[in-house]
């Protein structure tokens, strides 16, 4: 176990949680000073359940303020007592959680399992509202300023698929050692008045998908053609790309721990409707 895994008690089991949350009221997943984070809310409830033992959740990644999740993954080590089975954890925690955070699944995994380092990839979906602004949907989508052509978005998205240096699409490039990632596919589909862009990759950099969506929005409006998108990608320069898309349209859909999960993933509907 790494230093992150040190506890004040002898580890007994490890549980993996899948968590759904509306990120609109939170500073993101990870605990930060003077802000309320999803991790803080969950850890507080779990620590009380385990008789005051301080539970530390290790997340599969970090989501920014305002970003949502359908199946964020996080793991933790349990003390030997009390020994609470997964089904009881699911029910008891969900009873105490606020309406905008809920556990979807709880399962035991090997002690050596790590929610972040054992992940093989993730899927994110970004939602564009191509219709009229709505007080019910605007919390979960971005209404572009210009009319969108979905075929143009789709054509530009294919340029971004593959293994590339995505330095043009990352905020604070100097803070990371390596900007090479693999995007296996980008699915662009319409559901009613919404355009959903689903990114499946082996990992994503800080605000990378929001940066990519800023470029795809520009392509959809006709400002950029696929060749222009390719030039931006190859420039490896953030200043060459359009502005970053806002956070509210982004959902972490799934964290993958097997190749089969990753290959099988498909969007089942609007991320804020299931």
Residue 269 pLDDT > 50, yes or no?
yes
Q: Which of 50, 81, 109 is at the close of a domain? A: 109
Q: Which pLDDT does position 3 carry in this prediction?
A: 47
Taking residues 10-22, report their average pLDDT: 96
In this predicted structure, the answer to whether residue 218 has a pLDDT above a threshold of 50 is yes
Residues 73 and 147 in one domain: no
pTM: 0.95
What's 35's domain CATH number?
3.30.70.580
Residue range of the domain that includes 252: 121-261
Q: Quick one: pLDDT band at residue 158, thresholds 50, 70, 90?
A: very high
Tokens 């956070």 label which residue?
247
Question: Is pLDDT above 60 for 4?
Answer: no
What mean pLDDT is reported for the chain? 95
Q: For residue 271, is it within any domain?
A: no
Strand 68-78 to 250-256 pairing:
parallel
Copy the structure tokens of residue 179: 């900007």
Residues 175 and 242 both lie in one domain: yes
Dump pLDDT digits (tens) for 173-205.
656 778 999 999 999 999 999 999 999 999 999
Question: 60 lies in a domain?
Answer: yes
Tell me whether residue 124 is annotated as binding. yes
* Burial track 94-123 (b if 16+ CB lie within 10 A, e otherwise): eeebeeebebeebeeeeeeebbbebbebbb
What are the beta bridge partners of residue 162?
183
133 pLDDT exceeds 50? yes
- Give the active site residue among 22, 64, 149, 165: 64
Q: How many domains does the chain have?
A: 2
Give the separation between CA 189 and CA 151, rounded to whole angstroms. Answer: 10
Q: Does a structural domain hold residue 267? A: no
Asked if 100 is an active-site residue, the reply is no
What pLDDT was estimated at residue 1? 44
| 201 three-state secondary structure | strand
- Do 228 and 134 share a structural domain? yes
């Amino acid at each position: 176990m790494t230093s992150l895994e040190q506890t004040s008690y002898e580890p007994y089991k490890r549980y993996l949680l899948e968590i759904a949350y509306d990120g609109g009221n939170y500073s993101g997943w990870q605990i930060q000073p003077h802000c309320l984070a999803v991790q803080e809310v969950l850890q507080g409830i779990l620590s009380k359940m385990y008789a005051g033992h301080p539970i530390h959740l290790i997340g599969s990644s970090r989501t920014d303020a305002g970003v949502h999740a359908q199946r964020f993954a996080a793991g933790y080590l349990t003390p030997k007592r009390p020994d609470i089975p997964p089904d009881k954890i699911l029910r008891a925690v969900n009873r105490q959680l606020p309406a905008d955070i809920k556990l979807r699944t709880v399962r035991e995994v090997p002690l050596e399992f790590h929610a972040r380092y054992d992940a093989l990839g993730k899927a994110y979906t970004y939602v564009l509202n191509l219709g009229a602004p709505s007080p019910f949907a605007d919390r979960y989508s971005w209404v572009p300023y210009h009319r969108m052509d979905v075929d143009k978005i789709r054509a530009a998205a294919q340029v971004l698929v593959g293994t590339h240096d995505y330095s043009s699409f990352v905020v604070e490039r100097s803070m990371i050692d390596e900007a090479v990632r693999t995007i296996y596919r980008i699915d662009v589909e319409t559901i009613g008045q919404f355009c959903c862009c689903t990114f499946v990759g082996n990992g994503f950099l800080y605000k990378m998908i929001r940066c990519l969506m800023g470029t795809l929005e520009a392509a959809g409006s006709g400002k950029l053609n696929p060749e222009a998108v390719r030039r931006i990608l190859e420039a490896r320069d953030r200043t060459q790309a359009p502005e970053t898309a806002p956070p509210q349209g982004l959902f972490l859909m799934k964290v993958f721990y097997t190749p089969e999960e990753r290959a099988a993933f498909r969007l089942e509907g609007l991320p804020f409707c299931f």
